[in-house]
């Protein structure tokens, strides 16, 4: 019995009033704060953490939710990477699709540029016609003024098309650059494996 008492821990804490309390069992007044369990020698055996508060529980739940979301995103990213590698098992296929995508945009840019140049030439012709009415603008035919307004509107529209296509070109380039950076390590591994598996070429005499 004596040995059992000797083996029992001593609990100590400081309560909310600043008093240091000691007991042979967990102290009720300190259930909301950390308590130390001491060995008979006075060394710390363990620290009893207080039960989590509602705020602590909410924070823990939030962290667990964030961790779960992160794991879910990582799993989705892994699946996307696998699908990407399956679609582009080597750089050649990836470069080919990049070239096709950029060619479509470049063709659209060429078309819009030509249309814009044609409209600019038309506008110059209309301005030349309007020069005849410079001294008396009120006599200029309404149809001529409408043509100028329509041409200006069409030129502005082509400028927007060109701007949109330039944005699309940058988006495509960024997309393929990002994919290539992600796929390169796997391409390198696949290439090294293929090279190792290939039979040695016979030496010419």
User: Tens of pLDDT along 163-198?
Assistant: 999 999 999 999 999 999 999 999 998 777 777 776
CA–CA separation, 75 and 20 (whole Å): 51
Distance between CA atoms of 125 and 119, rounded to whole angstroms? 10
pTM reported for the whole predicted model? 0.61
User: Is pLDDT at 4 greater than 80 in this prediction?
Assistant: no
130-156 confidence digits (pLDDT tens): 998 888 878 889 999 999 999 999 999
- List the beta strands (DSSP E) in the chain: 10-14, 20-23, 35-38, 44-48
Which tokens sit at 171?
């988006």
Number of residues assigned to the chain: 205
Tell me what pLDDT residue 182 has: 93
Residue-averaged pLDDT of the chain: 89
Strand, coil or helix: 41: coil
Percent of the chain with pLDDT over 70: 92
Handedness of CA 198, 195, 197, 82 (dihedral sign): negative
Q: What local confidence, expressed as pLDDT, does residue 169 receive?
A: 97
Residue 1 pLDDT class (50, 70, 90 cuts): very low
Q: What are the domain boundaries of the chain?
A: 2-48, 52-87, 90-187
What is the reported pLDDT for 200? 60
Measured CA to CA, the distance from residue 143 to residue 138 in angstroms comes to 13
pLDDT of residue 126: 94
C-alpha torsion angle, residues 167, 173, 179, 182 (rounded to 10): -110
Instruction: Look at the block and give the residue holding tokens 């030496």.
Output: 203
Dihedral class, residue 166 (left if φ above 0, else alpha if ψ from -120 to 50, else beta): alpha
CA distance 156 to 162: 10
């Amino acid at each position: 019995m004596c040995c059992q008492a000797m083996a029992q821990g001593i609990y100590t804490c400081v309560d909310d009033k600043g008093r240091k309390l000691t007991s042979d069992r967990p102290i009720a007044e300190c259930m909301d704060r950390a308590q130390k369990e001491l060995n008979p020698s006075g060394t710390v055996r363990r620290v009893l953490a207080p039960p989590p508060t509602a705020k602590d529980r909410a924070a823990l739940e939030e962290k667990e939710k964030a961790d779960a979301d992160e794991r879910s995103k990582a799993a989705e990213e892994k699946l996307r990477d696998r699908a990407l590698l399956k679609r582009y098992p080597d750089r050649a296929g990836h470069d080919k699709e990049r070239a096709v995508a950029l060619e479509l945009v470049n063709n659209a840019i060429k078309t819009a540029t030509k249309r814009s140049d044609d409209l600019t030439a038309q506008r110059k012709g209309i301005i030349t016609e309007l020069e005849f009415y410079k001294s008396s603008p009120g006599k200029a035919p309404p149809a001529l003024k409408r043509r100028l307004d329509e041409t200006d509107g069409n030129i502005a529209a082509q400028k927007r098309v060109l701007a949109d296509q330039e944005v699309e070109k940058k988006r495509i380039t960024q997309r393929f650059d990002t994919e290539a950076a992600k796929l390169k390590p796997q391409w390198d591994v696949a290439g090294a494996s293929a090279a190792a598996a290939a039979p040695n070429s016979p030496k010419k005499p």
